[in-house]
Chains A and B, each alone.
Chain A
Amino acid sequence: AQSVTQLDSHVSVSEGTPVLLRCNYSSSYSPSLFWYVQHPNKGLQLLLKYTSAATLVKGINGFEAEFKKSETSFHLTKPSAHMSDAAEYFCVVSEGEYGNKLVFGAGTILRVKS
């Protein structure tokens, strides 16, 4: 079965500094990987997805992630944090054997300090 481990439950950065949210995955075959963001009292919004094309994936709002098979990692980065980036971020792997079941990590809460 697929699984995802988000290595940090909380990350705090200053506005204008880089963001790194770490994610490791476990998959028995070539996975599809996603990052979703959830703002307080809002639904989940897709930031980006990897589906075995380019290993460096660019998403919305300046976020990007790199798929590293040798390290089984899919870390999310952004060069410069903005106050509006404060939210909870979920790394997600898709189990596609019998459909499209998403397996979520526990989430990383990003705090951005002014």
Chain B
Amino acid sequence: ETGVTQSPTHLIKTRGQQVTLRCSSQSGHNTVSWYQQALGQGPQFIFQYYREEENGRGNFPPRFSGLQFPNYSSELNVNALELDDSALYLCASSRPQGALLSTDTQYFGPGTRLTVL
């Protein structure tokens, strides 16, 4: 069973540029969530996609956007990059096991380290 994969591993951009990060979910998983982990902090929820629809969003501005594709892989796009966007971006996939989505286990990829100069 293939786990969650993310690309690229590392990325360096300059302020004002745009970036696209990619995530392939674990086999059989139809839900993808994205998190931002700044240095020395716990991950912060950005948004979640379920069957290609956004299914919840955290406190991030609209310049953070996403997509989920029919094969359940996903992209995170960030426009007009700011220095504070420098972080580790984590993708997690899950598969609803029952009525309560809160009980589902999310499996994380290794992350993409974004540096904004």
Residues of chain A touching chain B, judged by Cβ–Cβ distance below 8 Å, are 31-32, 34, 36, 42-46, 49, 51, 90, 94-96, 98-107
Contacts and interface: CB of A to CB of B under 8 A. Distances in A.
A95 B31 CA distance: 15
Interface residues of B, number: 29
Contact of B94 (A90, A95, A100): A100
Contact of A44 (B48, B103, B108): B108
B94 A44 contact: no
Interface string B60-97: 00000000000000000000000000000010101000
B45 A96 contact: no
Interface of B: 4, 31, 33, 35, 41-45, 48, 50, 55-56, 58, 90, 92, 94, 100-111
Contacts, number: 73
Interface of A is mostly: strand
7 contacts: A42-B110, A44-B43, A45-B108, A99-B31, A99-B50, A104-B42, A105-B42
